[in-house]
Amino acid sequence: MIAPRGAIACFGEVVLRLSVPYGELPLQSPRLDAYVGGAEANVAVALAALGRMTAMISAIPEGAIGDGVLAELRRHGVDVARVQRRAGRIGLYYHLPDGGALRPAEVIYDRAGSAFAAMTPENWDWDALLDGVGWLHLSGVTPALGPEGAAATLEAATRARAVGIGVSFDGNWRGRLWERWQPDPAEVLKPIVAQTTVLFGNHRDAALLLGREFSGQGEDRRRTAALALLDTFGSIELVASTAREILGPDAHRMTARIDSRDDGRTTEPMMISPIVDRVGTGDAFAAGVLDGLWSGAGLAEVARRGLALAALKHGLRGDFVPLSRAALDGATAGPRDITR
């Protein structure tokens, strides 16, 4: 896949994540750790760290908080010229980390009425926003926010494809957001996926979009799900996915695969332990896959690079994975001694 000629634009809400300290209940101590994040922003930062030219398309509130968010994106090399400043508030989500074997991690959203969520489709000037863009990355989080976000995502994808811009879409299922307004998410998502070039989705996404069950057990069944997506949506060229086996609160085993109509490649399982922070690992996978595709790597290497960046993200706190190409190239599944 040819590298994009122009910026890689990521459209979505930039949020603040407020994390409860590990091993504590909310407000057990008078502290919440704050991080800038958001699915699409995570991809923009990761690709910028790998040397790609990235830009954020979003809306951020006026004032000191918005200033700080923009400064954080700039610090990681993301172009914010396409970010609008609006009255309102920043979207939030609260992260309650794993508390052990009997208390899983949890995310609580506080995004309704944010400056981004209040945007209407008419507020986005896609002719201007897509000028100089060579690739557009979207995710299922934005349409899950409400009908305005869904309409804007569809228009962005449609307009991009109409002018020859490749589109990647990450399903990023967010049940707590969808249940607020849409009992049939597939109805919203299918027209968006129909404009997609590279789809990040597994057998669960296939089941949602196609209305029938698929198994994620075994490589043959995972390829069956990918082929069903490729057969249904003619615009899709590649489907990328991961499979995660949770062995314990801080020990997971992961594999990744890439499927085209003619080929499918999977990685060897990778043991990931200890886990510092799981949030944003799917976005890291997406960035690693896209970078691998644009580097001209074969499907097996693309899957490996995506999995490697996802694995590296498990060891970093916060949403972002601002690791260099050298760090990704040097990633190994085995233990490493100190580099001196």
Homologous superfamily of domain range 7-322: Ribokinase (3.40.1190.20)
334 pLDDT band, cuts 50/70/90, is: low
Distance between CA atoms of 48 and 73, rounded to whole angstroms? 10
What residues does 10 pair with on adjacent strands?
A: 56, 137
Q: Measure the CA–CA gap between 38 and 223, rounded to whole angstroms.
A: 29
**Residues 138/192, Cβ–Cβ less than 8 Å:** yes
More confident residue, 339 or 150: 150
Q: What is the pLDDT of residues 286-326, one digit of tens each?
A: 999 999 999 999 999 999 999 999 999 999 999 999 999 99
The sign of the torsion formed by the CA atoms of 208, 209, 214, 218 equals negative
Q: Are strands 33-37 and 15-19 parallel, antiparallel or unpaired?
A: antiparallel
- Quick check: 98 pLDDT over 80? no
| Mean pLDDT estimate for the chain | 95
The stretch 207-212 carries a mean pLDDT of: 96
Burial of 76 (0-12, 13-18, 19+ CB in 10 A): middle
Where are the domains positioned within the chain? 7-322
Q: Select from 193, 212, 194 the least CA-distant residue to 204.
A: 212
Q: Is 283 marked active-site?
A: yes
Q: 29 pLDDT band (50/70/90 cuts)? A: very high
In angstroms, the CA 102 to CA 304 distance is 32
Phi, psi at 279, each rounded to 5°: -60, 135
DSSP assignment, residue 330?
Answer: T
51-82 pLDDT, tens per residue? 999 999 999 999 999 999 999 999 999 999 99
Q: Which of 170, 283, 291, 319 is catalytic?
A: 283
- pLDDT band at residue 249 under the 50/70/90 scheme: confident
pLDDT for the residue numbered 338: 56
- What is residue 333's predicted lDDT score, i.e. its pLDDT? 56
Indicate the pairing of strand 7-11 with strand 54-61: parallel
Q: Is residue 147 predicted with pLDDT exceeding 60?
A: yes
pLDDT of residue 339: 62
Q: Which tens digits make up the pLDDT trace of 115-129?
A: 999 999 999 999 999
16-27 tens-digit pLDDT: 999 999 888 999
What gap in Å lies between CA 94 and CA 29, rounded to an integer?
Answer: 15
- The pLDDT tens digits of the residues spanning 266-290 come to 999 999 999 999 999 999 999 999 9
What ranges in the chain are assigned the alpha helix state H? 39-49, 64-75, 126-129, 141-144, 147-162, 175-178, 185-193, 203-210, 219-232, 281-294, 299-313, 325-329
The answer on pLDDT for 9 being more than 80 is: yes
Q: Give mean pLDDT, residues 173-191.
A: 96
Instruction: Give the span between the Cα atoms of 50 and 93, in whole angstroms.
Output: 27
Tell which residue, 255, 202, 248, 249, has the closest CA to residue 228.
Answer: 202
Q: Inform me whether the pLDDT recorded for 105 exceeds 90.
A: no
- Report pTM: 0.96
Percent of the chain's residues with pLDDT above 90: 89
Q: 284: exposed, middle or buried (C-beta count within 10 Å: 0-12, 13-18, 19+)? A: buried
